[in-house]
């Protein structure tokens, strides 16, 4: 007999399960009550609001006056302004820079126009607070996902939200660049985390989100480039151990799962950013970093490295104990390693090197599972996150514009908080165990006392620090106490004294403070390539103001002494300005720019204030030369033309003086002194009736139609301004003014310079 065949039943085909990702992320945290996330988010926002409640009326200070108040791209939401934002540097039009952050500038434009903040600070502070709150919430959800410990995540986010080193990025409006780049880095990281445990179309969506967030972050601040290190760091510590097979097989899987399915999304944004920045830098006169802002940029390799490591040590000290905070650490607050530094400063370099190398080394070993009985990926992640994210501003890979700044800690401090949170919880449990049994009902509550006290102390310090940012004077007063060896804090305080009262007493205080800063610069003789002329300019202005006040009360002999002091210090400023121009020209020639396309660069205030002091000493020839060069550097600055006219008139060149006065009122129509002097000059030249008159409403007007001399002078003035703009390599501005000369002033086109 044959064996009966087994009957098989035909079942409906089951829907194939969606394939799971080849490498998944760590298991998500346990399901929490529905109230947990809203409650913790509300706590973060409320705690942050309390800590920053006294920041919303802080005045514009530091770089805000240039980045916000002096940037006319922010005045209207127009296509022309958008074009300027995306084609010019971050500091435009105040001075050239190699920073390209168009989306940060765009956020200021939205604040000014869309939100109606204009020149009023509160609206900007509200946006900064909301960004800081959003970053704290993002850190909460990211930390919860990678740790699976919700209370630890909340403590880490709270430390970040309340730490006082963040005030320079939150209360200081232009710190928004740090807030924005942190927001987009955390968003990109979140997309990477979600993509790691997704598949199919959902994974593709998260990867697209990663690419968008990373590109957006780059155009807010260049630090977003560090995502190329952050994503592999996370995958190495948290996803690599889950891979199976030998090393070759694991590397092959990682290349596909980590690289081709995630990291590749970073490439388009990086390529676009560097293309735009390369175009911008082709015509930039930037020649390097200023020594007085960052001495490391001019140090030898070993000297610079050890000094940079010392700064890292100081950053860690500020994060652990943020008692003394300053808005500036310029020369010579952080002395370079070597003979000019004290023994203790040099010892700090070596101590910091031991600390930093120890932390990084132990973290790497822990990540590899070669140190300690248990592997602690969060500890390694936090430490390496901190040092990785601070690398762009650490002056180790390359020099930047500052030797040290607390705003550089905004993003890296997240790594510190991820390490400090479990450490505080552990210490809290140990301290609580001395009071009650850890397993008792009150043990958990007692263990939270220490973290709670730390958060309260940090919040109180943040609140107190915000008071320092209340106005320019309070900010620099606190900076002088915190960083007395920085020349720039004394420069800032001198500005505060002068701006608070333009009196002789104010001038005396400003001079005294500025001379302390000058003593810092002169303590170790510096060559021209290491000097700063901005303090010289300010001091020259104070000497001139003091001299004019003395002259007003009849103290002529003493006034002349201060005018001479102004000439002396401005001559020093001129020497630095000359070196800057030569260095900028050399840099542009090195980039292949034709010599005839390179404009002279410099600070026109150097030559303006020198001209004012020389005029006051009746040294007319030198004053005319200084003012003329000021016009050459900045044709659209009215005072340079005015003081050139003053010198020419006193040399007897009345008609030439009239031409420069006409240029003054063309640039600034309400320049009352220029109009009054035009009347005097044309009266002295025998013009009757006068070709200058005042209208019933108080405004002034020219009458070239009925006066041949005025017609000739007006045409010469317009032609001169057009030529000055062409010499500055500003063809667009030259064309605009040439058209204005033809349409408004009726100048014959053939007598005006042609636009190339």
Q: Give the domains, in start order, of the chain with CATH numbers.
A: 295-463 (no CATH), 486-602 (no CATH), 629-756 (1.25.40)
Distance of CA 665 to the CA centre of its chain: 35
274, burial (CB in 10 Å: exposed 0-12, middle 13-18, buried 19+):
middle
Helix ranges restricted to H, 591-653? 604-616, 620-633, 638-650
The pLDDT value recorded for residue 5 is 45
The rounded distance, in Å, linking the Cα atoms of 164 and 73 is: 32
Q: Which residue has the tokens 């940012």?
A: 469
* Cβ atoms 615, 635 nearer than 8 A: no
Question: Radius of gyration (Cα) for the chain, nearest Å?
Answer: 32
pLDDT per residue over 499-528, tens digit each?
888 889 999 999 999 999 999 999 888 887
Secondary structure (H, E, C), 274-320: HHHHHHHHCCCCCCCCCCCCCHHHHCCHHHHHHHHHHHHHHHHHHHH
The pLDDT value recorded for residue 369 is 67
Query: What's the whole-number average pLDDT of the chain?
Result: 89
* Cβ atoms 293, 329 nearer than 8 A: no
- Assigned token pair, 417: 């908080």
Helix ranges restricted to H, 119-266? 121-147, 150-162, 167-170, 176-196, 200-218, 227-234, 247-254
* Spatial CB neighbours of 603, under 8 Å, sequence gap ≥ 6: 533, 534, 537, 573, 577, 633
The rounded distance, in Å, linking the Cα atoms of 657 and 615 is: 14
Residues (pLDDT < 50) of the chain are: 1-16, 18, 20, 22-25, 27
363 closest CA partner among 354, 351, 372, 350: 372
- Assigned token pair, 656: 């030439």
The pLDDT value recorded for residue 732 is 86
Three-state SS at 701: strand
The rounded distance, in Å, linking the Cα atoms of 157 and 145 is: 13
Q: Which helix (H) or strand (E) holds 700?
A: strand 700-702
The rounded distance, in Å, linking the Cα atoms of 378 and 217 is: 25
* Spatial CB neighbours of 253, under 8 Å, sequence gap ≥ 6: 22, 23, 243, 245
The pLDDT value recorded for residue 289 is 79
* Spatial CB neighbours of 516, under 8 Å, sequence gap ≥ 6: 490
């Amino acid at each position: 007999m044959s064996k009966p065949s087994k009957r098989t039943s035909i079942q409906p085909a089951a829907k194939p399960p969606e394939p799971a990702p080849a490498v998944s992320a760590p298991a998500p945290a346990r399901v929490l009550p529905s109230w947990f996330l809203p409650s913790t988010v509300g706590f973060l926002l409320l705690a942050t609001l309390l800590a920053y409640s006294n920041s919303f009326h802080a005045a514009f200070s530091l770089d805000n006056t240039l980045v916000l108040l002096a940037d006319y791209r922010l005045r209207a939401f127009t296509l022309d302004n958008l074009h300027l934002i995306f084609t010019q540097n971050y500091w435009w039009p105040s001075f050239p820079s190699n920073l390209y952050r168009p989306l940060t500038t765009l956020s200021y434009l939205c604040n000014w126009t869309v939100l109606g903040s204009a020149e009023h600070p509160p609206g900007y502070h509200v946006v900064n607070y909301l960004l800081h709150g959003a970053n704290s919430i993002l850190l909460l959800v990211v930390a919860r996902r990678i740790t699976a410990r919700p209370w630890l995540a909340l403590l880490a986010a709270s430390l970040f939200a309340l730490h006082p080193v963040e005030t320079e990025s939150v209360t200081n409006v232009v710190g928004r660049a740090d807030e924005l780049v942190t927001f987009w880095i955390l968003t990109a990281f979140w997309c990477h985390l979600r993509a790691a445990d997704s598949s199919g179309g959902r994974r593709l969506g998260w990867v697209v989100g990663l690419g968008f967030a990373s590109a957006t972050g780059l155009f807010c601040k260049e630090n977003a480039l560090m995502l190329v290190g952050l994503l592999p760091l996370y995958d190495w510590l948290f996803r690599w151990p889950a891979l199976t097979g030998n090393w070759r097989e694991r590397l092959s899987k990682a290349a596909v799962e980590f690289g081709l399915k995630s990291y590749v999304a970073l490439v388009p944004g990086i390529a676009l950013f560097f293309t735009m920045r390369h175009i911008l830098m082709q015509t930039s006169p930037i020649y390097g970093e200023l020594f007085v802002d960052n001495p490391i940029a001019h140090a030898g390799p070993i000297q610079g490295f050890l000094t940079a490591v010392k700064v890292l040590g100081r950053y860690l000290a500020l994060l652990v104990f943020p008692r003394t905070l300053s808005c500036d650490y310029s020369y010579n607050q952080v002395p370079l390693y070597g003979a000019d530094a004290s023994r203790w400063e040099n010892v700090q370099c070596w101590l910091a090197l031991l600390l930093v190398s120890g932390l990084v080394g132990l973290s790497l070993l822990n990540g590899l599972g070669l140190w300690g009985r248990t592997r602690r990926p969060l500890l390694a992640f936090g430490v390496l996150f901190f040092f990785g994210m601070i690398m762009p501003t650490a002056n180790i890979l390359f020099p930047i514009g500052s030797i040290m700044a607390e705003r550089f800690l905004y993003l890296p401090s997240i790594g510190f908080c991820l390490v400090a949170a479990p450490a505080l919880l552990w210490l809290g449990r140990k301290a609580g165990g001395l009071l009650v049994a850890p397993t008792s009902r009150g043990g958990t509550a007692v263990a939270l006392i220490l973290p709670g006290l730390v958060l309260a102390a940090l919040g109180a310090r943040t609140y107190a620090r915000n008071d320092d940012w209340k106005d320019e004077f309070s900010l620099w007063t606190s900076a002088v106490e915190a960083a007395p060896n920085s020349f720039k804090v004394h420069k800032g305080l001198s500005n505060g004294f002068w701006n608070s009262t333009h009196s002789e007493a104010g001038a005396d205080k400003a001079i005294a403070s500025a001379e302390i800063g000058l003593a810092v610069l002169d303590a170790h003789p510096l060559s021209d390539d290491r000097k700063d002329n901005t303090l010289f300019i300010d001091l020259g202005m104070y000497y001139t103001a003091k001299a004019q006040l003395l002259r007003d009360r009849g103290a002529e002999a003493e006034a002349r002494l201060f005018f001479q002091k102004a000439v002396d210090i401005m001559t020093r400023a001129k020497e630095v300005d000359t070196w800057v121009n030569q260095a900028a020209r050399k840099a542009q020639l090195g980039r292949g720019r034709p010599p005839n396309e390179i404009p002279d660069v410099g600070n026109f205030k150097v030559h303006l204030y020198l001209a004012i002091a020389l005029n006051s000493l009746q040294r007319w020839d030198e004053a005319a030369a200084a003012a003329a060069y000021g016009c050459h550097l900045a044709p659209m600055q009215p005072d340079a033309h005015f003081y050139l006219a003053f010198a020419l008139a006193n040399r007897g060149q009345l008609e030439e003086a009239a031409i420069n006065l006409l240029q003054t009122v063309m640039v600034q129509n309400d320049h009352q002194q220029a109009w009054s002097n035009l009347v005097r000059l044309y009266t002295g030249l025998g013009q009757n009736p006068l070709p200058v008159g005042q209208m019933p409403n108080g405004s002034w007007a020219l009458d070239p139609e009925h006066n041949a001399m005025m017609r000739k002078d007006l045409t010469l003035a317009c032609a001169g301004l057009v030529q000055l703009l062409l010499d500055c390599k500003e063809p667009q501005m030259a064309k605009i003014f040439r058209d204005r000369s033809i349409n408004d002033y009726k100048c014959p086109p053939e007598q005006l310079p042609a636009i190339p």
